[in-house]
Amino acid sequence: MPFAWKTLRGVATLIALCMTAALAAAEPIEVLWLGHSTFRITSATGKVIVIDPFLKTNPRTPAKYKDLAALGKVDLILVTHGHRDHIYDVSELAKLTGAQVIASYELSKNLVVAGLLDAAKTPVGMNKGGTMSPLGPGIKIHMVPASHSSSVDMVEMNRPEWKGARLLDGGAAVGYVVELENGFRIYHTGDTDVFGDMALIGRRLKPDLALVCIGGYFTMDPEGAAFAMREYIKPKQVIPMHFGTFPVINRTPAELKAALGNSPIKVIEAKPGEPLRF
Ligand SMILES: [Zn+2]
């Protein structure tokens, strides 16, 4: 009875699809801040994305996560730019987990040239305006502009075996909007000043949650971040980052709250190592 079998198989596939969709709807998204700009995002279907891995020498990272194996499975690593406080552990984490790495075009090439990433598992070099779905069609990674600089300092990366130039081209500094299976959108600003084209990120990609640098000195301070969120990005919620790691980036989430005044944008004060669910 081929027809009956076909129908039965069709029904079974439909049930499986519904169950996957229900699971995706039921499972929350987990966002784990690990200090500075390092985040681990776990999607509703269990895909794990790490942004800017800086753990072992990050003063704000909980002791448990200085052992990179504590991160567990990692499917994808996103890198915003080449400075040490954003890529220090990218090499080891990629090797340990087999995760694919996305970075700007020049940075991804130079990480291979410098021996920090495996040429056999070439990282993906994309550029601003690009969108990729390396984890399947359900998750979209949008690379967006940031107003910052980028280089890789091989002395700061503690690579004495490297005999090439000390400073490598890190390409353009970027941010990311991660669009998850259920449409929830997370914007990681990277390191940046406020810039007018943030308005386009807000209008086109409509982030629900923004992970926002507020420390000042190298990036936006709380007043700049509040302006960017209120006027341009307009997310529902923000998690402040890139503050309190080093003495010079000494601004605080309380100052961001104050600068946002009566804006409806909610400031979530994440604690490194304590997962948040959305
Ligand atoms: Zn930085």
Q: How far is the CA of 110 from the centre of ligand 1 (A)?
A: 19
Q: How far is the CA of 191 from the centre of ligand 1 (A)?
A: 6
Q: How far is the CA of 148 from the centre of ligand 1 (A)?
A: 9
The pLDDT confidence band at residue 13, using thresholds 50, 70 and 90, is low
Burial 211-234 (b: 16+ CB within 10 A, else e): bbbbbbebbbbbbbbbebbeebbb
- Measured in degrees and rounded to the nearest 5, phi and psi for residue 188 equal -105, 115
pLDDT at 21: 52
Q: What is the dihedral of CA 155, 161, 164, 168, to 10 degrees?
A: -40
Indicate whether 53 pLDDT > 80: yes
Domain boundaries, the chain: 25-277
What average pLDDT does the segment 42-61 reach? 98
Q: Over the chain, what is the mean pLDDT?
A: 93
Strands 48-51, 209-213: pairing is unpaired
Q: Which residue has the tokens 């305006």?
A: 129
By percentage, how much of the chain surpasses pLDDT 90? 88
Q: How far is the CA of 174 from the centre of ligand 1 (A)?
A: 12
User: For the segment 195-216, what is each residue's pLDDT rounded down to a tens digit?
Assistant: 999 999 999 999 999 999 999 9
By percentage, how much of the chain surpasses pLDDT 70? 90
Tell me the C-alpha to C-alpha distance, in Å, between residue 42 and each of 205, 227, 275: 20, 29, 10
Q: How far is the CA of 25 from the centre of ligand 1 (A)?
A: 34
Q: How far is the CA of 152 from the centre of ligand 1 (A)?
A: 12
pLDDT at 11: 61
Q: How far is the CA of 192 from the centre of ligand 1 (A)?
A: 9
Q: How far is the CA of 10 from the centre of ligand 1 (A)?
A: 51
Q: How far is the CA of 52 from the centre of ligand 1 (A)?
A: 9
Top mean-pLDDT range of 12-26, 28-42, 114-128: 28-42
Q: How far is the CA of 84 from the centre of ligand 1 (A)?
A: 8
Indicate whether 141 pLDDT > 80: yes
Q: Which residue has the tokens 């940031």?
A: 146
Q: How far is the CA of 46 from the centre of ligand 1 (A)?
A: 28
Q: How far is the CA of 50 from the centre of ligand 1 (A)?
A: 16
Indicate whether 41 pLDDT > 90: yes
Indicate whether 17 pLDDT > 60: no
Q: How far is the CA of 228 from the centre of ligand 1 (A)?
A: 18
Question: What DSSP element (H or E) covers 176?
Answer: strand 174-179
Indicate whether 32 pLDDT > 70: yes
Q: How far is the CA of 146 from the centre of ligand 1 (A)?
A: 12
> Which CATH code is given to the segment(s) 25-277?
3.60.15.10
User: For the segment 66-116, what is each residue's pLDDT rounded down to a tens digit?
Assistant: 999 999 999 999 999 999 999 999 999 999 999 999 999 999 999 999 999
